[in-house]
Amino acid sequence: MTAENVFDHWCFGREGIEIKNTTMIAEYVFCHWCFGRKGIEIKNTTMIAEYVFCHWCFGRKGIEIKNTTMIAEYASATGALEEKVSKLKTLQ
């Protein structure tokens, strides 16, 4: 299973995923920081924005980001990911 699939499974509340390597741990930390919860349901514009943000961050094609807030969130989240992954690697 790719790291991207692990990210999707964890974000959208599917069960039975194990985080087994540094790359996947990085995806897990990023997901937790961005959303703060499991089981996102896409039912309104806020959730759609989060879904687009999620996919755009991980390089899926065919998504256009036109909201400057989304871009700001990505920049902020990237810094947080790098810091948390660095701490995780130190602990390992």
- Cβ atoms of 28 and 10 within 8 Å: the answer is yes
- pLDDT at site 88: 56
- Structure tokens given for 61: 């094609």
pLDDT at residue 48, rounded to an integer: 39
Could you give the CA distance from residue 52 to residue 89 in angstroms, rounded to a whole number?
A: 29
- The structure tokens listed for 82 are 């790098």
pLDDT of 68 strictly over 60 = no
* pLDDT tens figures, 7-61: 444 443 333 334 333 343 344 444 443 443 333 333 333 433 444 444 444 443 3
Cβ atoms of 27 and 3 within 8 Å: the answer is: yes
Measured CA to CA, the distance from residue 83 to residue 28 in angstroms comes to 14
Global pTM reads 0.21
